[in-house]
Structure 1
C-alpha cells in the first residue's frame, strides 16, 4: 500500500462500520447521520449489531430496506464522531480510474484493497454497477468504494464467484437518489417495492402486500417476523437472558455467543455434532513453573463440578461442555453461573500465582 493510500485509509477509517446479525456479517459506512450498507447484509432484520473504531458494539435500527437496489440505511442510537466524514463523489467515474475498497472480509477488520475501474457502467438486470478489480470477499459487502480523493463512488455489493477479482459496486448517484427519496419522506421504517420501485412506509402495508401495485413484499414479512431462534438455540438464549446477559449484543451467529464477564471473555458455541461448549480463555502457559501449574489444574479438575480445565495449544481454558439432549434450563443456569463467577477469579489466580501471560485474542469478531 502506497503512502497516499495509507493516508486515505487513516482519514476514512472512522466512517467504516462493521455489521453483524445471526445470519452473517458485512460492512457499512457513515454518510451524514446514516449508516449505508447492502440490503442483503441486514438480512431483512430491523435490528443489527454495529461497531466502529469509536463506537463499541451496539444495536442499530434498520430504517430503510431496499432489496431492489440492494441498499439499506441504519440509524445508530449513539452519534458516531468522524473527524473526516465521507462524502459522495459527484465526478463521473471513468474506465481505468484508481479505486480503494475498505471493509471486513471474513471478519478481518478494516481490510483495504486497491485496484482500477474495469468498466464504469455495467448493466446487471435493471441496475447499473461499477465493475472493478480490487479484491473483495464475503464481508466486504456494504463497504465503500473510494476514488483517489477518498470520496465514495460506490457501495461494494457483490462479486462473481470463482472469478479473478470481478467486483461490482452500486454507483454513488444511485445511492444519492435513494437517500434523497428516503429523506423526502421525513419518516422511518421504509422499504422499496421490488416491482413498482415505490418507497413504501411500513405502517401502510397490509398482509405484506405493496399498497401501490399489490406485489407480495418478502422483506416486509421478514422485518415483521424478525429473528426467532428455536430448539436448543432458543433454550441457550433463554438461559443467557435469565442470567442478565444481553442476548442480542452477545450473539455472533445463530449458534455462537460472546460477552465479557468481569475481566474474562466468555464464548459459547453450539456445534453441529450436538455439543455445547461454553469456555473462557484464562491465560497462556508460562515458560517457568509449568509442572506446578499442571498439578494445580489437575487438582482443581478433581473437585470441580460440571466445569473443567483444559489446554488447547498454549492457552488454558475453563469450560462447560454438555450434549444438547442433556441441556436443561436448571442445569444450564447453574453451570453457566458457576463459569461466570469462576472464570475471573481463576484467571486472576493463574496470572498472579504462576506468572502466566494473559490470553491473546484474534481479531475475528
Structure 2
C-alpha cells in the first residue's frame, strides 16, 4: 500500500490558502480539517499529477475540526485507504504524515507517537515528533500497517517536534452520519445532537444548540480577486479550480501553465513558463526574442527557462482600463498556449517541466 499513498492524498486550494485531504473509498468522500475549508462551500482538490477537481464541502463539524468533501468524478480505480481500529496507537509507535506542506508537491515525513491520547481543549489528540507544517493540515497520519490513524491538524509554533492529529476514533464517530448525508448540499453537524443541518439557522432545529456564528456564510472575495477571476472565466477556466491562495491563481490553458499573483502589494503579475532553451544552437530563438515586439507582454529567461510575462501596477486597474487589461490577460494565456508549440517546432526548444501535454491526465 505504501506506494499508493501519493495517489490518495490530494492538495486542497481556495482563495485563502491551501491544505491537504485524503480519499476514503468506503464512502466515496474526501476528508480534511474544517479549518482548511472554513468559509468555502466549494474548493479545488489536486492529485499528485496536478490534475484539479471541483469539490463540494458537504459536511463540516467545527467542534471536531473535520470536513467532508464530495467530488463528481470516478475514483473507483484508486485503491482503498483503510482506517485503523480504535486505540491502536502506543507511545513510540512509528507513523508517517502525508500531505502538501506550504502548498509544495506531495511529501511524506516519518516520526514516532509521542502521546497517543494527549488531552487539549477538552479533546484527545495524537502527539507526534514527525515534521508537521502549514499545508499538512487535513492530510492523513498513517501507521506501519498503512492504516489511517489520524488527521493532521496542527503544530505548536516556535516548538520543535510537536505535531498533532485528530484521532481516528473521532473520524469513526463522524462517519456514522454519512448515510444521512446529502452530497449536493453544504451541511453542518450539530455539536450537541449530531443532527445534519442544511438550512441556514442560528440554532439547531432538533436540540436548540446555538450554532457557530456565520457557519453557513461564504467568505467575500476581494475586488481584485473578482476582477482576475472574471478574466480567468473568460479563458474558459473555472476560477475555483484555478485558485492557489490569497489573490493567487495557477492553472493550465492548453499545454501552458499560467500563474497570476500580486507582488509586493503593488503589482499584478501574469507569468507563463513556456519553454526551455535548446541545449545547443540557441542563437535562433534568442534573435527571435530580441527582435520581436511582444507588447504589452515581455519575454524573460532565467537559466534555460523562458517566460512570457505581463505586469501592471494595481493602480492601473481602473474602470477606464479594466476591460483592456482583462483582454490582455486572456490573450496572454492564448499566446502562451500557441507559443510553446511554436518554439519547439521552429527553434528546437523543449517543453517546460510545468507544461501539460496531451498524454497527461
Asked if TM exceeds 0.5, the reply is yes
- Contact conserved, 2:39 with 2:219, CA < 8 A, in 1? no
- Contact conserved, 1:190 with 1:199, CA < 8 A, in 2? no
For residues 91-106 of structure 1, the aligned pairs below 5 Å read 92=87, 93-106=89-102
Distance 1:190 1:316, change over 3 A: same
The range that moved more, 248-257 or 170-179, is 248-257
- 1:248 aligned residue: 240
- 2:358 aligned residue: none
- Contact conserved, 1:68 with 1:197, CA < 8 A, in 2? no
- Contact conserved, 2:234 with 2:330, CA < 8 A, in 1? no
Aligned mates of 2:106, 2:334 — CA distance in 1 = 34
- 1:9 aligned residue: 2
The range that moved more, 319-328 or 171-180, is 319-328
For residues 313-352 of structure 1, the aligned pairs below 5 Å read 313-327=303-317, 328-352=321-345
The range that moved more, 18-27 or 53-62, is 53-62
Aligned mates of 2:75, 2:19 — CA distance in 1 = 18
Q: Secondary structure, in 3 states, of the residue corresponding to 1:89?
A: coil
Q: Give a deviation string over 1:138-162, Cα, whole Å, max 9, x none.
A: 1111111112111111111111112
For residues 1-365 of structure 1, the aligned pairs below 5 Å read 8-31=1-24, 32=26, 33-53=28-48, 56-90=51-85, 92=87, 93-180=89-176, 182-183=177-178, 185-187=180-182, 189-193=186-190, 196=192, 198-203=194-199, 205-206=200-201, 208-211=202-205, 212-213=207-208, 215-222=210-217, 226-301=218-293, 304-327=294-317, 328-361=321-354
- Contact conserved, 1:255 with 1:271, CA < 8 A, in 2? no
Aligned mates of 2:129, 2:274 — CA distance in 1 = 43
- Contact conserved, 2:277 with 2:304, CA < 8 A, in 1? yes
- 1:3 aligned residue: none
Q: Give a deviation string over 1:320-343, Cα, whole Å, max 9, x none.
A: 221122233321233123323322
Aligned mates of 1:296, 1:239 — CA distance in 2 = 29
Per the TM alignment, residue 75 of structure 1 is displaced from its structure 2 partner at its CA by 0.9
Greater share of helix: 1
- Contact conserved, 2:86 with 2:169, CA < 8 A, in 1? no
> Any stretches of 5+ residues in structure 1 without a counterpart?
1-7
Per the TM alignment, residue 296 of structure 1 is displaced from its structure 2 partner at its CA by 1.5
Q: Secondary structure, in 3 states, of the residue corresponding to 2:135?
A: coil
Distance 1:146 1:263, change over 3 A: closer
Aligned mates of 1:134, 1:109 — CA distance in 2 = 18
Per the TM alignment, residue 124 of structure 1 is displaced from its structure 2 partner at its CA by 0.4
Per the TM alignment, residue 193 of structure 1 is displaced from its structure 2 partner at its CA by 4.0
Paired residue total: 347
Distance 1:157 1:295, change over 3 A: same
> Any stretches of 5+ residues in structure 2 without a counterpart?
356-361
Aligned mates of 2:179, 2:342 — CA distance in 1 = 59
Per the TM alignment, residue 113 of structure 1 is displaced from its structure 2 partner at its CA by 1.5
- Contact conserved, 2:31 with 2:69, CA < 8 A, in 1? yes
Aligned mates of 2:113, 2:213 — CA distance in 1 = 34
TM-score for the superposition, normalised by structure 2: 0.88
Per the TM alignment, residue 311 of structure 1 is displaced from its structure 2 partner at its CA by 1.9
Per the TM alignment, residue 69 of structure 1 is displaced from its structure 2 partner at its CA by 0.9
Q: Over aligned residue pairs, what C-alpha RMSD do you find?
A: 2.4
Q: Secondary structure, in 3 states, of the residue corresponding to 2:351?
A: coil
TM-score for the superposition, normalised by structure 1: 0.87
Q: Secondary structure, in 3 states, of the residue corresponding to 1:273?
A: coil
